Amino acid sequence: MGNFEVLERRFAEANLRVEVIERGIHRVSSWTAGANASDVFQMTILGKGREEYFRILPGARTNRIEAEGIDRDRRQLVLLVQEPVRTFEERIPRHGTQVDRTKVKVIREDQRSLWIERRTDARKRHFLCGRDERQLFICQLPRAVTMVKQAHEVLRAPEVVRSKGNVARQGEWFFVEPTEAEMEALAAALRGFRTIVRRKTPIGRGGHPHVADELVAVPATLVGKRTVAPAVFARGRVRHVDHETVCLQSWAKVVRNTEPVAQDGIARMDGVSWID
């Protein structure tokens, strides 16, 4: 049994469908280009709703791609990816994308797209893949783990782990019961007109953002003799097309999970088709 067949079997063990396309027969994604593009590992999610499935282009045969820990009940697995450094081009849409040209090399551009230079990471990378509520997802992990349970643990931000109150989650966002000092800072900031409550406001950036009924960003605030760090709070319903609605009866602190944030100057959009 070849490596591709093993990968397909491992996904099937997690009750997930995957299509693995060999390098010799696949056409390089329209979002990647350059001499090394066909050697680069690529992965996306295709289909809609319950008909969704993963598509993997493993790239060069020297790339290491292994499905490690599997949780069939959750329909999730941990995927290990390791490949050497390769330079390639990635096409990104102009609309909804911010590019810091001091950090990113733009090779060419037109009215709709930018082509930027990218390099693969030679370090081992681990991804949590599977189904979360309604749809499939791919999430890069902040550090190496082999089991799905461990993956969920390392994605919990320190504030979530330390919290002794109620915690809700919707996708990559956690909603944590604030401390007494944080509630005092929120009240002081509103009372002093240092912030305002925004309604029907997106949380973070992305093509399909999470939208809160009420959202307020509180700057660093002095409470007694202590400065409380800046924070964002949400209240009411939080909606997202891919997740069940979260209902927050009172103010909750908004905390993102620990998935690595790109350092290449690009504000990545939710729903980007390919990861490298």
Backbone angles phi, psi at 158, to 5 degrees: -55, -35
Structure tokens at 37: 């593009």
Q: What angle do CA 38, 40, 44 make, to 5 degrees?
A: 95
Angle CA(18)–CA(24)–CA(28) in degrees, nearest 5?
Answer: 70
Question: Structure tokens of 88?
Answer: 């390639």
* pLDDT score, position 271: 32
Distance, CA of 158 to CA of 136 (rounded, Å): 26
Domain range summary for the chain, segments of one domain joined by +? 3-154, 158-256
Q: Which residue has the tokens 């390089």?
A: 28
C-alpha 34 chain-centroid distance: 26
Residue 206 pLDDT? 62
Evaluate whether 154 touches 140 at the Cβ level (below 8 Å). Answer: no
**For the chain, how far is it from start to end, CA to CA, in angstroms?**
26
Structure tokens at 195: 């912030």
Walk along the chain (276 residues) and give the pLDDT tens digit of each residue: 457 889 999 999 999 999 998 765 545 455 565 556 788 999 999 998 778 999 999 988 899 999 999 999 999 999 999 999 999 888 888 876 778 888 888 899 898 898 888 888 899 999 999 998 888 999 999 999 999 999 999 999 999 999 999 999 999 999 999 999 999 999 999 999 999 999 999 997 666 789 999 999 999 999 999 999 999 999 999 999 889 999 999 999 999 999 986 544 344 433 333 333
Q: What is the pTM of this model?
A: 0.82
